[in-house]
Amino acid sequence: MALNGFNKDEFGTRLNEVVFSTRPIRSVEHLKGRDNELERIERALFQDGRHIFIYGDRGVGKSSLGATAAFLYQSSDASPIFVAGSVDDTFKTIIANIANKALSRSRISKSVEKSEVGFEWRGIKWLYSKEASVLDISTQIQSISDATDLLTQVAERHSIKPIVVIDEFDTISNVEERNKFASLLKQLGDQSVPLKFIFTAIGKTLDELLGAHQSAFRQLETIELFRLSWEGRYEIVHKAIESFDLSISDHIVWRIAMVSDGFPYYVQLMTEKMLWEAFSDDNIVEEIENQHFQLGLRKAVEGITAELKRPYEQAVLHREEEYENVVWATADGEDLCRNLTAMYESYKVVIRKRYTSPSPQSQTKFSDYVRRLKQEKFGAILDSLEGRVGWYFYKEKMLRGYVRMQAEASGVELSGEKEAPRQKMHVAANQKAGYHGSTVPSSVRLGGDKK
């Protein structure tokens, strides 16, 4: 039965407008829980020569924050310039791509309609509705100064307030090529070129992404992005549900928030699949119910990318069931760096919830299972905390959320962040692990066993 008068095409189109599980968000209306970061970026970009570097773990929403900030800054006479890094890219190819994308979408296109040449630089011609060759441009860029000269002219022709977003900057494999951008930013600032950059990258520190060019760091507003706040997770779900004139209980919303482990991608994906289950319901749906959540959660787990599934499958498939119990236990609780004793307590809870006749392994045996999860043949899920015997953390932090979704889909509710003061400041427990907590509203009770 059609949901509230929507047929399938109408529903799918509307869902695509309010849920963003496969693409970056580009508007303030849909970006939730990042008001402070957006304000920092907005204020920083007022300063001449200041650029933005957004970094953090995979899946925390760096691309969405960068894209939204770019659209806020960019003047209305053009669109922001988006390029993405790749393992094959170099400094020259990125600059060439920026020039092509800037000139093909700028106001120059409208003013050269009757002219053969829209723009020419060192013998390279950008024709109307035709880009120049990236290879040709690259061969003309022999130095940082050449790139600065080209971007100066590009900025003049693109718009009043041009901005470039270089997404996935960390995928540029050559460190020396990445380092050149630090020198570029310094030259752009020294020459007062009115072109802004926003970089996004996976990483723990700016040093590992831009190298030792400390002199260029003063040109960067650095934003380390952490997991999404509880309020942000809550708003994502409610915004989508309200778009279809439906209601949903707070219990389901907070389960989504907890299971997601603070990764916006998981919140968006579970919400998308849950709404499709409501649409497919044979009954008239006015409220999202637990059955829609559970069915949607299972579809979300099935739809997760193979990159995230693979380590989990290596750890549990074609092995005794005990491995899955142990893996679930490692993803339980608030603390993201956990010791064996705490994980063993979680393991006993998992066993109690999963079986009518609980029979947990000894802590010694459990510890053996955990240590194996560091090995490649078991997915290399965990790593040891340096200098702390018996302490572990997830090597790929986003994987922890996937593990939590697997457990929830199998009927085992894991606990998450506990109640904490709203204004509490969180500091990484360990530099290598790089984990930071988040805050759950004090009005919400969360925990392990059902009461």
| Domain assignment of residue 29, yes or no | no
Question: CA 53 to CA 207: how far, in whole Å?
Answer: 12
Q: What DSSP string describes 371-387? A: HHTTSGGGTT-EEEPTT
For residue 318, pLDDT beyond 70: yes
The model's pLDDT over 122-162, given as tens digits with 9 standing for 90+, comes to 777 765 555 666 667 888 899 999 999 999 999 998 999 99
Same domain, 214 and 233: no
Enumerate residues 6+ apart whose C-beta is below 8 A from 383.
Answer: 374, 392, 393, 394, 395
What global pTM score does this model have?
Answer: 0.85
pLDDT at 105: 52
| Domain assignment of residue 374, yes or no | yes
The last residue of a domain, from among 225, 250, 281:
225
Give the rounded percent of residues in the chain with a pLDDT score beyond 70: 83
For residue 68, pLDDT beyond 80: yes
80-105 core/surface letters (b: 16 or more CB in 10 A; e: else): bbbbebeeebbbbbbbbbbbbbbbbb
pLDDT at 104: 72
pLDDT at 423: 35
Same domain, 283 and 431: no
The model's pLDDT over 250-294, given as tens digits with 9 standing for 90+, comes to 999 999 999 999 999 999 999 999 999 999 999 999 999 999 999
Is pLDDT larger for residue 204 or for residue 398?
398
| Domain assignment of residue 195, yes or no | yes
Question: CA 274 to CA 1: how far, in whole Å?
Answer: 16
Same domain, 70 and 160: yes
Question: CA 233 to CA 286: how far, in whole Å?
Answer: 22
**E strands in 64-108:** 81-84
Instruction: Give yes or no for a contact between 444 and 419, defined as CB atoms under 8 angstroms apart.
Output: yes
pLDDT at 308: 85
Mean pLDDT, residues 32-61 taken together: 95
For residue 22, pLDDT beyond 90: no
CATH label of the domain that carries residue 60 = 3.40.50.300
pLDDT at 442: 44
Q: Say which DSSP state 409 is in.
A: H
| Domain assignment of residue 244, yes or no | yes
| Domain assignment of residue 322, yes or no | yes
Ramachandran angles phi, psi of 350, nearest 5°: -60, -45
pLDDT at 1: 46
pLDDT at 65: 97
| 323 conformational bin, left if phi > 0, alpha if psi -120 to 50, beta if neither | alpha
pLDDT at 112: 41
pLDDT at 116: 46
Total Cβ atoms within 10 A of residue 348: 16
Query: What order do you get walking across the sheet with 391-394 strand by strand?
Result: 338-339, 391-394, 382-384
Question: CA 166 to CA 197: how far, in whole Å?
Answer: 7
Same domain, 268 and 199: no
Give the tokens for residue 353.
Answer: 């919830």
Question: CA 3 to CA 11: how far, in whole Å?
Answer: 8
Question: CA 158 to CA 105: how far, in whole Å?
Answer: 8
Same domain, 325 and 440: yes
Same domain, 59 and 168: yes
For 103, 150, 167, 261, the CA distances from 94, given in Å and listed in that order, are: 14, 12, 11, 34
**Dihedral Cα 24, 26, 32, 33, nearest 10 deg:** 80
Mean pLDDT, residues 107-129 taken together: 55
**Dihedral Cα 115, 118, 120, 126, nearest 10 deg:** -110
Instruction: Give yes or no for a contact between 428 and 226, defined as CB atoms under 8 angstroms apart.
Output: no
| Domain assignment of residue 282, yes or no | yes
| Domain assignment of residue 28, yes or no | no
Same domain, 194 and 324: no
Instruction: Give yes or no for a contact between 238 and 223, defined as CB atoms under 8 angstroms apart.
Output: no
pLDDT at 215: 61
Q: How far is CA 63 from the centre of its chain?
A: 6
Same domain, 205 and 269: no
Same domain, 290 and 439: no
pLDDT at 108: 42
Give the tokens for residue 411.
Answer: 């009927």
3-state secondary structure of 164: strand
Q: How many domains does the chain have?
A: 3
3-state secondary structure of 418: coil
Pairing of strands 117-121, 124-127: antiparallel
The last residue of a domain, from among 197, 225, 253:
225
Using alpha carbons, select from 347, 355, 332 the residue that is nearest to residue 447.
332
Most confident of 84-88, 223-227, 324-328: 324-328
The model's pLDDT over 376-430, given as tens digits with 9 standing for 90+, comes to 999 999 999 888 899 999 999 999 999 999 999 999 999 875 433 333 333 343 4
Residue with tokens 């020259």: 92
Which structural domain, as residue segments, surrounds residue 350? 307-451
Is pLDDT larger for residue 441 or for residue 412?
412
Question: CA 235 to CA 242: how far, in whole Å?
Answer: 10
The last residue of a domain, from among 254, 282, 303:
303
Mean pLDDT, residues 185-203 taken together: 93
Mean pLDDT, residues 195-214 taken together: 79
Same domain, 74 and 195: yes
Same domain, 85 and 209: yes
Question: CA 325 to CA 321: how far, in whole Å?
Answer: 7
Same domain, 295 and 319: no
Specify the range with the lowest mean pLDDT, choosing from 34-38, 101-105, 199-203, 349-353: 101-105
The mean pLDDT of the chain is: 86
| Domain assignment of residue 26, yes or no | no
The angle formed by the CA atoms of residues 293, 239 and 286, to the nearest 5 degrees, is 55
